[in-house]
Homo-oligomer: A and B are copies of this chain.
Amino acid sequence: MFDLELIKSISRPSPTKIVLLVIDGLGGLPRPETGKTELETADTPNLDKLAANGICGLSDPVGRGITPGSAPGHLALFGYDPISFNIGRGALEAVGIDFNLQPGDVAARGNFCTAEKAGLITDRRAGRISTEMCAELCRLLDGQVVENAKIFVQPVREHRFIAVFRGDDLSPDVSDSDPQQLGVTPKIITALSPEAERMAGIANQFVAQAKIILAEYLPANMLLLRGFSQRPHFPSMNEIYKLTPAAIASYPMYQGLARLVGMEALETGTSIEDEFRILEQHYGNHDFFFLHVKGADSAGEDDDFERKVKVIEQVDKALSELISMQPDVIVVSGDHSTPALLGGHSWHPVPVLLCSEWCRTDRIKEFSEAACISGGLGRFPATQIMPLAMANALKFSKFGA
């Protein structure tokens, strides 16, 4: 639609404040018994008040029919075209645990897994071993050197870890070893371009050594690597929007994403109340806050309709205090839909509400999927949420003479 250069050219600093509240996986599907989605089932007086005073709509994070991963979903919310601003899984996980990924490093996402005697995979997640066990196994593998490349192995959570390869001439252009299915052996990692031969060789040697080291650690007696990638360079939100943005997110991956676009990740506890408290404490220090609530997505992924309803109600309660602080612009949306009925991310458009003194309110009185269809924001790409927020905060100057 329009590019970041245009946005950059009209953005100007100002003391007004924007709060972007992201309820991860917000959008849902109606439960057949009631015909109501999670958001429509939840009792949300504060969200409804914001909707009544604000303007609503439905947004597509990537495009109609496209189910976004967490990274494209959030990048779109921050105003970055999620197709051209791509980020690999390995780099994303590394950034997520605050690993200091340097230029030239190649990161892979790893799973500990279970293999039977002949090497066939029987569990791609090694029975979801504990995070402590994962950390112990990572210590065994960490720090190896293969062909002058150093390999860092760091735990993420449960069976998940990262492997970061640091050395000269490493290319991320190699295939995964993770076959994404059971009953087969891990795949040989192959170079997808001639420059990546060295990387493929090193990665395969690392895997071979790991197999020996892990042999006695059933159920985590093997590992799988995927998403080899490097840290991308994205222009910062300060460059683009002239903001001093802060992120409040209890999950590492979202902190990592926020840092990739130049936000300061504030330390926070894990509860929704913790996150809102941190926002209040730092309210004077930033002009943009991204507050991320993970629980709605997790509940959706667990097929737990009721729990997702509760998370939304909890957010609604926490909003009272924020509303009383009167930020110039409040935006509430999600990075994608996660209907409990589907048990995973989905392609359905996400409800958006924007409340500001200048929003030109519509007739919507409740924040829900069904109501947002008729909202004044219409149906639009999520990348346009930030420009809308900036405009409503009077942080944009006129375009053109």
Contact = CB atoms under 8 A, between A and B. Distances in A.
A62 B399 contact: yes
Interface residues of A, number: 67
Contacts of A30: 360-361
A283 B362 CA distance: 39
Interface stretch (A68-76, A112-120, A130-138, A318-326): A68-76
A347 interface: yes
Interface in A241-262: none
Given A63-B1, A70-B401, A401-B89, A378 B376 contact: no
A294 interface: no
A397 to B, nearest CB: 8
Contacts of A92: 401
Contacts of A82: 399-400
7 contacts: A37-B360, A65-B389, A67-B397, A72-B399, A109-B401, A373-B376, A379-B380
A159 interface: no
A64 B401 contact: no
A88 interface: yes
A227 to B, nearest CB: 6
A396 interface: yes
A87 interface: yes
A358 B387 contact: no
Given A70-B401, A347-B391, A2 B360 contact: no
A230 interface: no
B358 A362 contact: no
Nearest to A348: B360
A391 B2 contact: no
Contact of A342 (B346, B358, B375, B384): B358
A122 interface: no
A369 interface: yes
Contacts of A396: 65-67, 347
A210 to B, nearest CB: 23
Contacts of A374: 373-374
A369 B373 contact: no
Contact of A227 (B358, B379, B388, B401): B401
A6 B71 CA distance: 16
Contact of A391 (B66, B88, B380, B399): B66
A393 B25 CA distance: 20
Interface string A343-354: 011111000000
A170 interface: no
A381 B400 CA distance: 17
A187 interface: no
